[in-house]
Amino acid sequence: MKYTKTKYPNIFTYETQKGLRYYVRRGYFVNGDKKEFTKSGLRSLKDAQRILRDIEERIYHDEMDVNLELTLNEYWEIYSAKKERKNRSME
C-alpha cells in the first residue's frame, strides 16, 4: 500500500477498493524514547485532522505515556508533583 502526502503535515492518503482513506502518523518522545502514533482507515480529511489535533493535544499535556497498572496512590504522587511544578512556574 502506498501512502501519498497531503498538504497537511502528518496526514497521508491511500486508495482502497471502497475509495480514498486517510492515515495519520505522528512521532513524539517519551522519556527520551521515540514513539509513534498511527491511525488509518479514516474516511474524511476532517476525521484525520480531528484525530491529529487530539493526539497533539495529548502530547502537549504529557498524556501519551499512560500506565494502566498505576495505583491510585502512584497516580496521586505524579499528579501532585505536576501541579506543584506548574504552580512554581506561574510565580
Render pLDDT for 77-89 as a digit per residue (tens, 0 to 9).
888 888 888 787 6
Overall number of domains in the chain: 1
10 inside domain: yes
Residues of the domain holding 54:
4-66
**Whole-structure pTM value:** 0.67
Residue 62 CA to residue 60 CA, distance in Å, equals 6
49 inside domain: yes
Nearest to 30 by CA among 51, 72, 61: 61
85 inside domain: no
Residue 38 CA to residue 51 CA, distance in Å, equals 10
83 inside domain: no
pLDDT at 42 over 90: yes
24 inside domain: yes
Please give the residue that has the higher pLDDT: either 5 or 68. Answer: 5
Any residues with CB less than 8 A from the CB of 19 and at least 6 apart, and which?
none
Task: Render pLDDT for 8-40 as a digit per residue (tens, 0 to 9).
Answer: 999 999 999 999 999 999 998 877 778 899 999
25 inside domain: yes
> What value does the mean pLDDT take over residues 56-62?
85
48 inside domain: yes
91 inside domain: no
Any residues with CB less than 8 A from the CB of 59 and at least 6 apart, and which?
26, 28
C-alpha grid cell, residue 22: 486517510
